[in-house]
A and B are shown apart, each in its own frame.
Chain A
Amino acid sequence: MSGYFWHVFIISIFFVFLAVMVYRIVAILRMPVHLRWELAPLPHKKEKKKDGGSHFEQYTYSEKTHPKSLVAIIVFMAEEILLFKGVWKNNRTLWPFSLAMHYGIYLVVLSLVFHFVNAMLLISGESASALDSLQAVAAVIALAGYILGTAGGVGLILKRMLDADLRNFGSFPVYFRLVFLAAIFISGIIAWFYTGNFALTMSVFTHDLFTLNTAITTNMPLTVHLIILLLFVLYLPFTDMTHFITKYFTYHAVRWNDEPMNQKMAAGLDRLKSQTSTWSAAYTNPGKTWSQIATEKHKDEKTS
């Protein structure tokens, strides 16, 4: 592969990835405001009590505004993303596999960042010693990621096939993506060992990518690895593996969304309520607007 193949291939994939991701996120953002459906504990309230207590416990709650606590949110997210606390507590036998696989992803992504930084250092031509150290780190991180990812990916496939609780809920897409992920990590291990100085090769590759160098080269195992990785990046935004971003919405837009009414929300709600309902059951008053249905008059009964 030479010439502009890698440049075109990689840029196109990233564009598609971004476009589809943006499309999905915008689709979520454009969903209408919904009725409140929060669930305690809400970690972002400063008055949070350790056992899940909420601001409702101060009975003048309707008269005060309640500031959010960014620290609590970040701590909660960190516990979930780095420690998989929920899975540890409630699904322990799955935890090691899930953690390993996700850390495989985190470390490989991190290694890509390192390759990019190293490439920039190559371009600037400075700090040869810094470059050496960073490349050493990048090599370790990449290998650790590939190994953990392999263990986790293969482990998850086996767990899902062998555990009767999970087996019934497996399906072709579920296994396909795990095989795809495992392929990235396994091909990564092969490429790492085949390539003499993996981090240096990756730095140079990234450098050649950004400098639009048509003499960009790879070896066969690395080519295979990169192609699998890039095809996965192309595939990812079309699946629910985008939960890494949409988790933000399931938490902030639903689970922790206890925003009280304000003018902007009320205006949006009034617009929604002016839509017509077309449900079929007679009691739903099809053909009327939601406002009309909710405030429908009935005979006023003061005495029997």
Chain B
Amino acid sequence: MKKHHRLNDISKNATNQLDEINLDELIPLPPPYDKTDELPAVKTLTDEQKQRLVDNLDGFSALALPQPKDKEEEKKYIKQFISGLNKLLSKQNNWTFLQPLLLSLEYCAHCQTCSDACPVYIASGKNDIYRPTYRSEIFRRLIDKYTKRGGKIMTKLKGTDIDLNWATLSRLYELAYRCNLCRRCAQTCPLALDNALIIRELRKLFSQELGWAPHELHEKGTVLQLEVGSPTGMKPAVAIDNLKFLDEDFSESLGFKIETPWDKEGADILLLHSAGDILSFPESVMAFTILCNAAGINWTLSSDGPGYDGVNYGLFYDDVQLAKIAVRHAQIAKKLKVKKIVIGECGHEHKALITVADRLLTGDLNIPRQDVMTFLEGIVFGGKIKFDLSKNNFPVTLHDPCNIVRNLGIVEPQRRILRYLCPQFREMTPHGVDNYCCGGGGGLSVISGVNFTDWKVNVSGRMKLKQILEAFADEPGPGAKKYVAAPCLNCKLQLRDIFKYYRAWEKSGIMCGGIAELIVNAMVDIKKPYINWNDV
């Protein structure tokens, strides 16, 4: 059911919710998830939280924004926002993305071609507040009004006047975190404009000027990573200890010695995992160890923080942290004298390190960086490991992480692997560069404050769940165990949240994991099954 909102509504009634989510208004899911009364109730803010936090958008809070104390505080933030707008549009403070931003702001034809491409907008049943252009157009009009000469008069004359008050500001802030930065909108825009970029810049304004950013991305994200080595809080010694434990544990259960190398100077490859995998999906990390060793690759991990954690949340919300972390990663690789950095199964790490930060790594920091898909492809088809193709004889489908596939155009290598090693591999629809985001993109995967997870599993992840169920429609029940290959930790976390919420393992026998585990599962030398269906 379509819901229309006038752009001006954002500035009205600061204490009322702009809209609310009703499960019946979202697009329907295939059975057995089609009966909304059989699904868990959506978590809402408690009365105590509603007193303390701002709740004026859609009934969800990603950011736990505290209510302002008084009108003075509101005015202060509004003033800061305007000063931030000016900095965002200046060469001095935003040379990093000035040209793309200005072009996207100036040339929108308001044709709405991008809206139907947005998974969040479609999943919500076409609710205007989730339209890519809703946020961008409001932002655009604020820029026109508050930064251009004569803006206040011109926008009144043009009928594009939006008041920048607390309602607008607080709602825009939350809205900025209802976008996955998946860039499907950018892909479809006939003028090559990019709404995801506009939203990223909006987030940057909030962070770099007002100091507003989700603490999961900032204080407990990039700041923690720069301080101790990883947003997980894992210090180098703990990382080494954890890997040692895993080496021993897996060696014991698989029956041969598995050892992960650390700090090997002059190695060919520095492998840059997302360290969260060590804690949440250790079989993925160990799979890489097993494969690299079996293929005779001269590789290493680095214990020099953040050299063992390749994530770079700065990509999602600012330039300062993005630059600091990318430079640190390159410096560590340089110090270790490795020939190349290979990025692990982490989507945004690919975009951050291979393309976006490319122009930040000048001089001798410009170390070659390689993606995980071609790396694994080289291992699988390199001839050094023997595979038994019957070991992966269960339905497998492939989720395409936005940052690797849509952004970098790396589409075929992972498919060649899966077609070779998984006799029941099938594509979901759409797939490749047209695939949908898992719903956890843009950093949303690690943001779970208040009741945001419920929004992610119901709204932003809805298209993905639908795709997965449709891909497995030939064997829907729990009796057939089915694997969603998702070569990105943030995607796996989002899928894990979705599957847990809908009890997808119990009802449909679906679990997710990376590609490395599938490869190891097919190795002739691994006598026991590597993929543990009971560990769900």
Contact = CB atoms under 8 A, between A and B. Distances in A.
Direct contact of A and B (CB under 8 A): yes
Interface of A: 28, 31-42, 49, 51-59, 61-63, 80, 84, 86-87, 89-91, 94, 98, 164-174, 240, 243, 246-247, 249-251, 253-255, 258, 260-261, 265-266, 269-270, 272, 275-285, 290, 293-296, 298, 300-304
B186 interface: yes
Contact of A272 (B2, B95, B111, B410): B95
A272 B90 CA distance: 12
19 contacts: A34-B97, A39-B183, A51-B411, A62-B340, A86-B190, A166-B111, A169-B110, A171-B160, A173-B158, A254-B103, A255-B194, A261-B362, A280-B209, A284-B318, A295-B327, A298-B227, A301-B228, A304-B236, A304-B238
B113 A240 contact: no
User: Chain B interface: which size bin?
Assistant: 35 or more
B371 A91 contact: no
Given A37-B194, A301-B229, A56 B371 contact: yes
Contacts of A59: 370-371, 374-375, 377-378
A34 B111 contact: no
A41 B355 contact: no
B410 A270 contact: no
A258 B375 CA distance: 21
Given A57-B412, A265-B359, A294-B323, A86 B99 contact: no
A139 B362 CA distance: 59
A250 B107 CA distance: 9
B366 interface: yes
A41 B433 contact: yes
Contacts of A302: 236, 303-304
B97 A37 contact: yes
A90 B358 contact: no
Nearest to A248: B192
Contact of A90 (B116, B356, B378): B116
B49 interface: no
A122 to B, nearest CB: 39
A28 to B, nearest CB: 7
A250 B320 contact: no
B111 A35 contact: no
A165 B324 contact: no
Interface in B356-371: 356-363, 366, 368-371
Contacts of A295: 327, 331
A135 to B, nearest CB: 35
Given A87-B113, A172-B159, A40 B374 contact: no
Interface residues of B, dominant DSSP: helix
Contacts of A84: 190
A277 B359 CA distance: 18
Given A166-B110, A279-B209, A284-B318, 15 more contacts: A32-B95, A36-B355, A39-B194, A52-B411, A53-B409, A56-B354, A56-B410, A58-B374, A90-B113, A171-B160, A173-B158, A281-B208, A282-B211, A284-B320, A303-B237
Interface stretch (B3-11, B30-38, B453-461, B486-494): B3-11
B91 to A, nearest CB: 5
Interface in B90-123: 91-93, 95-100, 102-104, 106-117
Contact of A281 (B99, B160, B210): B210
B409 A165 contact: no
Given A34-B96, A53-B410, A28 B103 contact: yes
A94 B375 CA distance: 44
